[in-house]
Amino acid sequence: MSEQTKKWRYGVKRWIVLALFIVGGYAAFGRNTMLRPISPVVVLPAEPISPNSPITNTMLATLIADVVLLLFAFGAYRFHKQGNLVPNGLYNFFETIIEFLWNTVEGATGKWAKRIFPVVATIFLLIFFANVIKLFPGFESIGWMKEAHKAPAYAPVKLFDLGGLPVYTIDKGRPVEVEAHGEEATAAAGAESEHGEAKTEPCHACEVVPFLRGSATDLNFTIALAIIAVVMTQVYGVWALGPSYFSKFFQFGALVNGGIFGLINFGVGFLELILEFAKILSFSFRLFGNIFAGTLLLSIVGALLPIVIPPGLYLFEIFFGIIQAYVFFLLATMFISMALVSHHGDGHGEEHH
């Protein structure tokens, strides 16, 4: 690439960035209050993607992350089957991640790495893809409207019809007191208008229920991954040590023949059992708390300082999402590695069939 071409591209990109800042500034601080970002409604549980749907927004986001991950894996598989030994582009990035994860697992578990790696690497990749996908435009901003039960709430504004369906937005310049309208205003939203036609406004004092929300902002997602990690820890422990693996939890022999120290060891065994259940809480709440707080920070800062600051936070969130996925992966690997070691200090157990 010539030096002149590089300068031309740099100049074009500079003007594009400047134009985006100008558009963002106009949308955030201009007279059109419909374009202004609105403070988020903090809701802890996942919400349905439509009023009567059994599918929640975090469930839909997880399914999308699954599909993207499978497509990416299938693409990498086809790339390898074609005999390409030197990856490029995204596949090069993918290979770097896989190699790094493999070295970590192999260093911690030795000969068991081939059996452990698929589980812990899949957990890492799922969390990683779910954390990255939630940063795409439309997450937690596009959805259906419902009556707000607490402030902030805003009046709806119709934009256009899409395939016969009206598309609405909410206007930050028209806040509505939630306590003022109550049930009477809610009923009035569907009443007859002066022209004898039913009003089509979805609500009077509105809030948006997003169609998509980050998977890890739902405790169901993080607890499910935590249970999988802890259960697989027990599976690999039995696989390596056989039934004797459970002797570290139930030390009845030490209780009978060990005297006072045997009684202490027996109590320590029960503490080990409690700790196995505590790992589920540790896994799930660590991931949930960090991702939920990051999402909330992006929404609040984006509403207060819509330009300049959010792009930096997005870069931080990408880095933070990778770190959280790696922490979950690393803890799962370490716990499984510890399960492979006999509590008598004999090292990695022999393989049982």
What mean pLDDT value characterizes the chain? 82
> CB neighbours of 138 closer than 8 A, spacing ≥ 6?
211, 212
What one-character DSSP code corresponds to residue 142? S
Band the pLDDT of 126: cuts 50, 70, 90: very high
Longest dimension (CA), the chain: 91
Q: What is the pLDDT of residues 301-324, one digit of tens each?
A: 887 777 778 878 888 888 888 999
38-66: pLDDT as tens digits: 877 888 889 999 888 999 999 999 999 99
What predicted TM-score, i.e. pTM, was given to this entire model?
0.83
Q: Are 145 and 201 in contact (CB under 8 A)?
A: no
Are 214 and 220 within 8 A, CB to CB?
no
The rounded distance, in Å, linking the Cα atoms of 241 and 127 is 30
C-alpha angle 240-241-246 in degrees, rounded to nearest 5: 125
User: For the chain, first and last CA: distance in Å?
Assistant: 59
